Amino acid sequence: MNESPNWILLVLTLPTENATARMRFWRALKAKGCAVLRDGVYLLPSRDEHERALQELAAAIVESGGVAHLLRAPSSDAQQDAEFRALFDRGDDYAAFVRSLSEARKTLSGQSSTELARLVRRLRKDFDAIRAIDYFPSDAVTRAEVAWQDFVSLVDTVLSPGEPHAADRPIPLLARGDYQGRTWATRRRLWVDRVASAWLIRRFIDPGARFVWLESPAACPAQALGFDFDGAAFTHVGERVTFEVLAASFALEADPALKRLGDIVHSLDVGGPAALEAAGFEAILAGARERAGDDDRLLADMSQVLDSLYAHFASGAPSEKDKRI
């Protein structure tokens, strides 16, 4: 017999006269990923955060006129443990999510930047919700992750065709004095990395920079400094996006505010841990691109946003990571 109390059981009777409260509690149980053993008996793996959450829920049920008891118990044997674990299988949820990605693919070409950004945020929220209650991950999450990354890459292609491939080369340290009053060129219809890189160039590297927005990288003028496309002077290197490569090239990496801006650009451009401000920045950029008549106007509008974010970060405002420590 397994001696460890590896399960938490919530035994409850919901209030019969308060339909609103019953619905709220049912939704809370579902959101926490509770398995149903039978009517009124719910199960979660024994973890401190689960016990705290169920204690709060039990207290709310009692306060509303119901009955709730919280118990901790081990599995009686390996077979029962496997049966309980099977109750938490999220394979069907992941399969439904992958089907929703397939349906969403059919709609991409007809949507605006704002609509695409909203779609990606909604689907990412759905995916994160499943993963949050996937207490015993299986191969299903790996398949869903691959489908999700493929979908995000497709959206990026729609939003920003011609995304560069990461180069494998050193990043030399350059003197800003050698890069003044230059012409810089990148792909038109600016998106996250390009608009942030253009702001970085004009704000910290070459205040007199002139920009050319290219229909195709092949049209880049010979005298221009290209950025954020394959073969450009400044583009993705290794795991760094163009914004980060520019910061490294011109000794700007020590600036903590630029580092936090780089985290936003990186997470939105190639993925990874999402910075707290990333979704808001993406939404503002999508809206600004819909409103702006051209890339010069878009850069001007987004430069104000980036100036404000930089000032906020430079003031010492804590990051979400700092708040958790």
Give the position of tokens 């399969």.
95
pLDDT at residue 319, as a whole number: 58
User: How would you classify residue 174: left for phi > 0, otherwise alpha for psi between -120 and 50, otherwise beta?
Assistant: beta
pLDDT of residue 134: 95
Nearest Cα neighbor of 18 from 60, 70, 69 is 60
Query: What pTM does this model have?
Result: 0.62
Mean pLDDT, the chain, whole residue set = 90
- The answer on pLDDT for 99 being more than 50 is yes
Q: Are 214 and 188 in contact (CB under 8 A)?
A: yes
d(CA 97, CA 107): 16
**Residue 3 reports pLDDT greater than 60:** no
Distance from chain centroid for Cα 181: 36
* Mean pLDDT of all residues in 204-229: 95
State what percent of residues in the chain have pLDDT above 90: 69
20-49 pLDDT, tens digit per residue, is 888 999 999 999 999 999 989 999 999 999
Instruction: Answer whether residue 5 shows pLDDT above 70.
Output: no
C-alpha dihedral sign at 242, 248, 251, 254 = positive
* DSSP characters over 251-291: T-TT-HHHHHHHHHHHHHHH-SSPPTTHHHHHHHHHHHHHH
323: Cβ contacts below 8 Å, ≥ 6 apart = none
276-321 tens-digit pLDDT: 898 899 989 989 988 898 999 999 999 999 999 999 999 986 655 5
Q: How far is CA 162 from CA 19, 157, 192, 235, 244, in A?
A: 54, 7, 13, 12, 19
- pLDDT category, 4, cuts 50, 70, 90? low
The predicted pLDDT at position 325 comes to: 41
Directed axis angle between helix 19-31 and helix 48-63, to 10°?
Answer: 180
Note the pLDDT of residue 2.
45
Most confident of the ranges 142-146, 245-249, 273-277:
245-249
pLDDT tens track for 108-151: 887 887 888 889 889 999 999 999 999 999 999 999 998 998 89
**Nearest-CA neighbor of 12 among 45, 46, 36, 47?**
36
- Decide if domain 7-86 falls under CATH 3.30.70: yes
Q: What is the residue extent of each domain of the chain?
A: 7-86, 91-159, 176-324
Residue 270, pLDDT score: 85
Task: List pLDDT tens digits, range 157-173.
Answer: 787 777 788 889 999 99
